[in-house]
Each structure stands twice: as C-alpha cells, then as structure tokens.
Copies of this chain bind each other. A is one copy, B any other.
Amino acid sequence: MMLSLPDQMQLDQFLAQVRHLAGLELGYPVAFDLDFSALTPFLTVSLNNAGDPFEPMTYQLNSHEFEREVVSFFAELARAPEDQWWGYVTNGSTEGNLYGLYLARELFPDGMVYFSQDSHYSVSKNLHFLNMRHIMIRSQDSGEIDYDDLRETLRIRRDVPPIIFANVGTTMKEARDDVGRIQSILDDMAIENRYIHVDAALCGGYAAYLEPRPSWDFEDGADSIAISGHKFFASPIPCGVVLARRSHVERIGHSVAYIGSMDTTISGSRNGLTPLVLWYAIRALGHEGMKRRIEHALDTAAYTEEQLNKAGIKAWRNPNALTVIFPQPPRAVCEKWQLATANGNSHIICMPHITREKIDEVLNDILASGAEAS
C-alpha cells in the first residue's frame, strides 16, 4: 500500500510541521520528553481491549495483561483501598469524568452535582449528557473551589445526596480542590449519602510525589478518580485511567455474552496500544524516574515565575504547580507559543520537557512584543 508522490509529500510536510510546532508549545499540559518509538511494531497489529481488563476475552489480540498493571500502578499512587477498587484505561479524562459521574448517578439518581466555576468545560457537557441536576459553586481567585460557598449551598439542601466534582488541577490555574476539606464539610453536616469524584487529569500523574502531598485521593475521600495519560505521562495518543471503588462499579456491570466479559466500561472497542504506552513509561522510569521529572518541572515553573516577575510581568502560580499565570501577552506571542488564554490571562505549563532556555526564549518574545506595542 503506497501513497502517490504528492500525498507522500503532504504527509512528510505535515510531520516536519508538527515536529517544529512541538518545540513551540508551552500552553498545554502535554509532555514531550518520553520516547515511545520502541512500541512502533504494535502499530501493525490490531489490538483491541474491549470490555473489562480483569475478565477473560474471546478476542485474544488484547493487552489486558499490561492494562491491569497500569491501573494497579495508578491505584497505588491514588491509595485505592486494597482489592476494593476497579479501573481501566480510557480514551482520556473526559471519559474518566463521564464514568465517575455515571457511577454517581447510578448510586444517587436524585443527587445534585456541585462543581466550581473553574472546572473544565467538559463538565457541563457531561452533566447535560447524563441529565444530572447541578449547581455551580464560586471559585476563589486561586481557582480553588470556594469552601464557604460550597458549605452554604449544601446546607440548604441536606436532604439531596451531594455529588461533588472536585478538580485536582483546574485547566487554567492548576488549582487543587482539597478533597479532605470537602469530606470534612460533608461530615460536619452528617451527610452520609454522598459521592466525591476527582478530576485529576493533570495532577493525578504527580500529586503522589509532591511534598506536602495534596489531599486528592481515595484515602482522602474520593469515590472515583480520572487521570490523563497524555499529560504528565507523555502518551503520544490521548488516554487516561479511571479508578473507582469496586462496590460502585458492581452496581452497573451486567454480563455480556458476545464479548464473554462483564461490560463495565463506556467504550465498546478500546485502544490496546495506550495501555502499552503507559506500561512502558512506568516500567522504564519507575517512581524514581517520575519523581525526577516532576522535580525538574517544578524547578522550571519556579524559574518561569521568577523571571517573568523580574521582567515586570505580574506572574504567579499555585503552591507546587507547574502552571504559571500572567496577563495575556500580544496575540502574535500567544499564537507562536500556543498559549491558552481565558479572561485576559495566559499561562505557561512547565511540563517535564521544558527547559530554562525555552523559557528565556518566550520571555524575550514577550518583552520584544511589549516594546513594539508601546
């Protein structure tokens, strides 16, 4: 199977272009420092992980064995209760969040979902999709949920089971809602029927390595957690992991003769390559390698914040965050460096592949453009 010459040229040009653009990408939480080219032979086999990774399957071209290792690794990071959790590799955190909300709805069909105004745009989309009632809670300036507003809003609805959608790493400011504190608020009101889903798309990859450890996981009170695989874990294909308390999942499983497996996932056919990608990263780097990557990234973030401020640009970041926020620079700079922007603010996300030299480059661009503008 071969392309015509013009088609081949189009493809080659595109590859060169994206390679170039990858070096000019500072605005999105995507890491480029890991090389998965050792997995390329798997592009020639049609892996399909349909169904539950913990159940046998008739279609034998699957990587369930690797997927189980991957979800176990994340279950350990997220301190899931031993043998009382379940999970699978998703197509990304939107699917993981959808899954968590779905479990919550099955447990509490009349529940009310609470989430902060800094939540990812997909949350409203997911809630609409699942037909779930919801109330948006104010955010603090940091991007973290406003606990007073949450408490007051819950207080007048103590008869309705609350479903809290917590962010551990908001999209724009990487703010982390404190799961333990949310848990305490619910405890104080003696609300027993409750559910906490944690969208840890970005920070779930490294929260366990931070000092102090953020309050975000199962021991802190989460019922389900979604983590992305293409952010900190650098998968070149979007993916993620969703984890949940096993008892919640058992409520939605039903046996499916066709695939010879319990059907507890959202997707039908599932990507079998991404579990290999995550397995590869975990095995090649281990906890030590991951720790080194987050330490480097935190160092770059501190440097970025410092250099911007030194240059007279009011930059800030949340504690131990990789995301540095500053007033939106001129449009040309945003476009060149692919900086996401909202409400007049832009951010640089210091993923592990970003170096101080790269930060100096963008800073020069910002200063040069500012000079031009004045």
Contact = CB atoms under 8 A, between A and B. Distances in A.
A181 interface: no
A268 B122 contact: yes
A260 to B, nearest CB: 8
Contact of A43 (B120, B236, B238, B269): B236
A259 B340 CA distance: 7
Interface stretch (A28-36, A149-157, A311-319): A28-36
B61 A22 contact: yes
A59 B94 contact: no
B236 A44 contact: yes
A237 interface: yes
A54 interface: no
19 contacts: A1-B285, A3-B280, A3-B283, A15-B45, A21-B61, A22-B61, A37-B43, A40-B43, A48-B230, A58-B339, A91-B269, A91-B271, A94-B267, A121-B259, A172-B258, A230-B269, A237-B271, A238-B269, A271-B271
Contacts of A48: 28, 30, 230, 238
- Counted per complex, copies of this chain come to 2
Given A44-B236, A121-B256, A271-B237, A18 B61 contact: yes
A212 interface: no
Contacts of A19: 45
A95 B44 contact: no
A3 B282 CA distance: 10
Interface stretch (A123-131, A301-309, A322-330): A123-131
A246 interface: no
Interface of A: 1-4, 7, 11, 14-15, 18-19, 21-22, 25, 27-28, 30, 32, 34-48, 58-61, 63, 65-66, 91-95, 102, 120-122, 125, 129-131, 171-172, 228, 230, 234-238, 256-259, 263, 266-271, 273, 276, 280-281, 283-285, 334-335, 338-342
Nearest to A121: B256
A338 B58 contact: yes
Contacts of A281: 1
Nearest to A277: B43
Nearest to A172: B258
Given A30-B61, A40-B43, 7 more contacts: A30-B46, A46-B235, A47-B236, A47-B237, A121-B263, A122-B268, A238-B267
A92 B47 contact: no
Contact of A338 (B2, B59, B230, B256): B59
Contacts of A63: 14
A39 B94 CA distance: 26
A259 B231 CA distance: 16
A94 B258 CA distance: 15
B44 A36 contact: yes
Nearest to A238: B269
A284 to B, nearest CB: 4
A40 B280 CA distance: 17
